[in-house]
Amino acid sequence: MVSQTAASAIAHQIELAVAPVFLLAGIGALLNVMAQRLARVVDRGRSLEADYAGFDEESRRLAAAELVILDRRMMLVNLAITACTTAALLVCVLVAMLFVANLADFAFARPIAWLFVAAMLLLIAGLFLFLWEIKLAMNALRIRRVRMPHRRKD
């Protein structure tokens, strides 16, 4: 039978190991947003490609320019998803290491710290890439506004 002190110690170790799981929930929410954004970009690209043959010369030129932008956006969102997913995987390893290190009394302090730093750097990189994709999308939108008569300044 496990003593009360040992059970309390195990419960405390579980609490310490589970704390980063909230970080995983946040990363999961970000990944959901990024995946939805990627899906929208892919859908727009497929739509343009399907209609491309029926466009006149000017529309084809504009569609080709938009496809280039959509390709860049897909690349950026893909990189952001990769960075954030890798960060989530490192957090999972971190949770396992925290639990094992405390339970088995291993000295994993430095590897745990480095894993956390690496996860945060990857998360930061993923957020920067996502921000870059949003900026690219907004710039593409501004280009189209030029063609709108009510937005032009004459």
Residue where the block lists tokens 């990857």: 122
Kindly tell me if the per-residue pLDDT of 154 is higher than 70.
Answer: no
Quick one: pLDDT at residue 104? 78
Quick: pLDDT tens for 54-99. 999 999 999 999 999 999 999 999 999 999 999 999 999 988 888 7
Which pTM was predicted? 0.80
